[in-house]
A and B are shown apart, each in its own frame.
Chain A
């Protein structure tokens, strides 16, 4: 076994194959980032719609709630297949990358909507009442009262979700997107040993996921401490009264 591995390693780690794997990593990262950024924007819309006041807006609220509750309870693989076959009704030669991005977007919208809602609800009610007293519109309240106070609460878990989703995108290899897992399966089918191939693929995923998750944690700690407590920003020593 070790002999076989030693024989395969020079053939496996050629520049050509490494370039292929790096490109696949790029695809994995690109579809995660595009999908999650669009998902984040859509989630904002969903939460905004969910908080529309009034009896007439009840159907809108209901749709927003149902969207989140349903898509959080369906496996990503099922969502991917649904998007794949549904889009193929309309566009028979749709790009698989676009299909993967749409599936990621649909899924991340549902999850980040819950994160954003949690962030919005962390803003004290008096703040919103004060904004209403000053005759702010809903949009003004959102933009100048709610978002400035809630983004430190929203951003860290949203980043953590996106970073965690890098790993879950491995499932779109099932529909044939040329991403990291798909390339791994391809190399394994070419006859390279599974230990070598999937060991390498696992390490490449680790190389993407670990630094980003560390960065996410750093972001969380930095945002959690209020600006006045950050050591580098304390320019003057505090004086007593």
Chain B
């Protein structure tokens, strides 16, 4: 995993729920992760899926990912190349799902107050810093365990890797 990423901010509000991140109507019909990405944020921001770039960052207010436990809501953002999600707070299930699919999640309130849609920012996971023209904001650095899961691409590949190492 890159320890520093640079990208543009996609800013949204509070209580962004899993239905607008990945509409429930697709949960029964779409199984291919790449296709999930095409519906990412569809009901909130129709421009998102077509324009988001590798390592762009989602910046949101409180309770990001509230609602359903569907893992697709984390997968669809990851396959579109989102480099991290910064939110004032995350719903508990979304936080677990996000880490389990290998998406870096950062809990930070200050970034939301200072950065706007389209701003360029840099995230340093090792130092625990969000940097941009409007300031530098700290978060608890990702420790090696957490890096391990993100780096492997999620909890399933991480566990697979550890099982292989133990069998060696």
A binds B: no
Which residues of A pack against B, CB within 8 Å?
A: none
